[in-house]
Amino acid sequence: MPLQNRVTPFGEPIATPARGLVYGNRGCLHDDDGRIRRRYAVKRWIACRLRFRGWHRSPLLQPGKFTELFFLDEATALAAGHRPCALCRREDFVRFCQIWQELYPGERGADAMDARLHEERVDQRTRRQRRHPLPEGLLPDGVFLANGNDAFVVFDGSLRRWTPSGYEHVREPRTGSLELITPPSLVEVVRRGWDPVVPFLHPSAGRRPPG
């Protein structure tokens, strides 16, 4: 049975046999039986490489250890509110900090970045994901929008619907209003040409639609 450790763009851990391209954590979310009990345990939400220095934890979801999370790609991790790990993605983290300083000169260090991100990604009343109005202007590839319970990634001037196994080419949503779910500060990081070492977008985003 699949573990409940695959994360959607809405930041929700789900159980699915589909595999992800990016790894991460936000503290220990599970109990001693491996059941997810909370959305987060710390403000430090990170996105990591799948492989680093041959490290491998088995089994997953060990009692008292951080919950191993998996994302379809970096864009999904950003939408959920995660930022690059300072250890396994050192070069990405340094570049991320440089961009952050351009955006927010007075905010230095991981704690300051994580504090802003936490405010942008979590609704403190409900402890669920916070949604934002769409910003003005064109959005860069990799930014996520929500239409009800569906998440869509911006790619090549159109939208692709997120699924656990990849993106679907769909018509633009016709009903309801679109809301921004990628935290606004991360939208601006992406807008400045974010190019990580981990896969930014799953290959399915660029596949041609059938027919």
- The pLDDT of residue 175 is above 60: no
The CA-atom distances, in angstroms, between 125 and each of 39, 110, 128, 141 are 14, 25, 8, 30
Report domain extents, the chain.
Answer: 6-206
Q: How many CB atoms lie within 10 A of CB 130?
A: 20
Contact in structure between 63 and 71 (CB atoms under 8 Å): no
Is the pTM higher than 0.85? The answer reads yes
* Range list of H helices, 61-193: 74-80, 90-103, 110-121, 184-191
Q: How many Cα atoms within 13 Å fall on the side-chain side of residue 194?
A: 28
Which of 27, 24, 34, 28 is CA-nearest to residue 1?
34
Instruction: Report pLDDT digits (tens) over 89-145.
Output: 999 999 999 999 999 999 999 999 999 999 999 998 998 999 999 988 899 999 999
What letters, b where the CB count within 10 A reaches 16 and e where it falls short, cover 18-36?
Answer: eebbbbbbbebbbeeeeeb
Output DSSP code: residue 134.
Answer: P
